[in-house]
Amino acid sequence: MKDHSKLDFNTKCVHSGIDEYEYGSVVPPIYQTSTFKFKSAQHGASLFAGEEKGYIYTRMLNPTIEAMENAIAELEGGHKALGCASGMAATHTIFSSLLNTCDHVVCSAAVYGPTTTLLNTVMKRFGVETTFVDSAVNENVHSAIKENTKVVYVETPGNPTLCISDLEAISKIAHNHGAKVVVDNTFMSPALQNPIAFGADVVMHSLTKFLNGHADVVGGIIVVKDEDTYKHFRKTLNQLGGVIDPFNSFLVHRGLKTLGLRMQKHCENAQKVAEWLEKHPLVKSIRYPGLKSHPHYNIGKKQQKGSGGMITFEVEGGLEAGKILMNSVKLCQLAVSLGGVESLIQHPASMTHFSMGKEARLSGGITDGLVRISVGIENANDLIVDLEQALEKVNQANLIEEVV
């Protein structure tokens, strides 16, 4: 492949992947095939033996998928990447590749909910123990590490509280103990944060979010730093079977071309919306990495090139106020997921985290009035006008006395 290392990120977004496609096609052709014909028995044998480069079967490798994988590996500053059927398939493939029975994981407490559940159920059944820590405090990570700790799993900024963990410090701590550092970089995308540059060994993304960016694909990706790890992970992925398909890879690759532009706009909009919300009398508290009030503002500035599109805030008036807000927005759409061009809003206490129960929610920092917004690429003022009229509905409901 051509050397793109000196090019600007936006140029890489447009040009990374594979240099030349068949017939001079400018965009990656969709190889919608499950299998590939061998030229001869000898050819098939040498492909299986790994003596020759080529394609055998789409679960193992496919040119459309490979082009998307190469593009993301390049944007993340990694060696190679592995496309998966979802972000969770990527996380499962990582755990299955790196862990054995009786191994131990240290994991950020603020992670995507199903990641916690995967560790606490399936991985636990297979004999893997996990300690969850507030990884924004380096010392917590250090003191949780045991002799059998093989993986330190960090999500930063974490979901949904947006707490930020110091990737460089945590990588040093983990490596001192021979553990691998895995980073869920979904909230930042490679445009805003490159964990490998701070010492991480493996990076994963839910492609479903900012990387694809158009809310029309479910997918995941794993980025690794060296060929041996790549081969080991590829074997595991091939056995588990959670691969992405050619058409979704094509869509993600198309989305990547505007990643730099989209992230810039997400950051600009979220900054404006966050600054406006911070001054609103009905906003009890707000977390956005671009606000000086964020408790880990300085770590964010050190390792992030931008503050991202995610805002979490607490509206005065608790659960009821949260519900009124959700029912009153007109432009922001009431839906889970994030990272698309359209703004989405959700209320964890009555939605994604309802089943946890109030006590468990509170211990995870999820208060009744907590609202999460994925700020899209619309005009920021249009979003502010929408939130303003929705907060006015909350105001009219006179719920303030109910504040606990």
Rule CB under 6 A: is residue 312 a binding residue for ligand PLP?
no
Q: How far apart are CA 87 and CA 84, in angstroms?
A: 7
Site string for ligand PLP, 325-364 (x = CB under 6 A): ----------------------------------------
Among 12, 104, 180, 209, binds ligand PLP (CB under 6 A): 209
CB of 233 vs ligand PLP, minimal distance in Å: 17
Rank residues 91 and 328 by Cβ distance to ligand PLP and give the closer one.
91
CB 87, CB 208: distance < 8 Å? yes
Residue 162 carries which side chain, given as an amino acid letter? L
Q: Which of 206, 269, 307, 367 binds ligand PLP (CB under 6 A)?
A: 206
Provide the CA 245 distance to its chain's centre, in angstroms. 19
Residues β-bridged to residue 84:
220, 243
Considering only residues 67 to 86 of the shown chain, the ones binding ligand PLP according to CB under 6 A are 86
Q: Is the peptide bond before 157 cis (omega within 30 degrees of 0)?
A: yes
How many Cβ atoms sit within 10 Å of the Cβ of residue 6? 7
Among 17, 195, 220, 364, binds ligand PLP (CB under 6 A): 220
What tokens appear for 71 in the block?
Answer: 């593009």
Near ligand PLP by CB under 6 A: residue from 64, 189, 208, 303: 208
Would you call 59 a catalytic residue per the annotation? yes
Amino acid at 282: L
Out of 31, 55, 112, 288, pick the active-site residue: 112
Q: Can 23 be counted among the known catalytic residues?
A: no
Q: Annotated catalytic, 112?
A: yes
- Give the nearer residue to ligand PLP in terms of CB position, either 162 or 324: 162
Question: What does the alpha-carbon distance between residue 42 and residue 48 come to, in Å, rounded to a whole number?
Answer: 10
Phi-psi region at 40: left, alpha or beta (left = phi > 0; alpha = psi -120 to 50)? beta
* Listed ranges 140-148, 182-190, 240-248, 259-267: which one lies at the site for ligand PLP (CB under 6 A): 182-190
Please report how close the Cβ of residue 204 comes to ligand PLP at its closest, in angstroms.
8
Q: Which of 66, 155, 166, 201 binds ligand PLP (CB under 6 A)?
A: 155
From the list 284, 129, 108, the residue with the least C-alpha distance to 182 is 108
3-state secondary structure 16-55: CCCCCCHHHCCCCCCCCCCECCCCCHHHHHHHHCCCCCCC
Would you tell me which residues interact with ligand PLP (CB under 6 A)?
86-88, 112, 155, 159, 184, 186-187, 206, 208-209, 218, 220
| Residues annotated as catalytic (active site), given as ranges | 59, 112, 184, 209
